[in-house]
Amino acid sequence: MSTQLRPTDVKRLNRHWRRRTEGRIGLIVESVTQPFNLGSILRTCATFGVETVWLAGNTADPAHPQVGKTALGTEHKLRLEKVSGAAQAVAAARESGFRVAAVELARGAVPLHRAPLEGDVCLAVGAEDHGCSPALLDGADILAYIPQIGRVGSLNVAVAAAVAIAETRRREWCDLPDAAEDPDAAEAVRSR
């Protein structure tokens, strides 16, 4: 019978993946106004080791109580930078050594699984109602979209950010040895 991992085993497993992570990820969040969406995005960022989150436009205040409720305190573990708009966010990301990849259903975008997300990349997501602004799309080095097969035309911005961040990390990890080959990770997931 399988059981959930104990906290010490989770820490051991996380340590395994941290040691195998070299690429840097940043995130631009443009005009995401709903605090629960921002909180969910920040929690995902903390989970996957996003280095910096640039909050552009009229993005919700990370100090809002509803952000904290969803982020569960992870917002305090992140480097958050408030910038006035998309152009400033893109410039700050580039100055920090990132290529910028906007995640948007836009002309010229490639499927996320084919986008060049290797190395240091700053993903970018836009507002709940209209997505990334023209300024953000024009400033991006890469345009990528998340393929969808259902009858709904879009994803919630927090879900889209999570899919893009997870895909970026997955690419880095997919060619690594299995966790079972690492003594710490093997011990963490061994059945008890």
CB atoms within 10 A of CB 4: 7
Crossing angle between the packed helical segments 35-47 and 157-173, to the nearest 10 degrees: 10
> Measuring CA to CA, which residue among 159, 100, 103, 93 is closest to residue 126?
103
Instruction: Identify the DSSP state of 192.
Output: -
Global pTM value:
0.91
Between CA 77 and CA 183 the distance in angstroms is 28
pLDDT at 22: 86
**What pLDDT, on the 0 to 100 scale, is given for residue 191?**
47
Going from the first residue of the chain to its last (192 residues), give the mean pLDDT of each consecutive group of 10, the final group possibly shorter. 88 85 95 98 98 98 97 95 98 98 97 96 97 98 96 93 98 74 61 48
Q: Enumerate domains of the chain plus CATH numbers.
A: 23-189 (3.40.1280.10)
Note whether 67 and 75 are within 8 A (CB).
yes
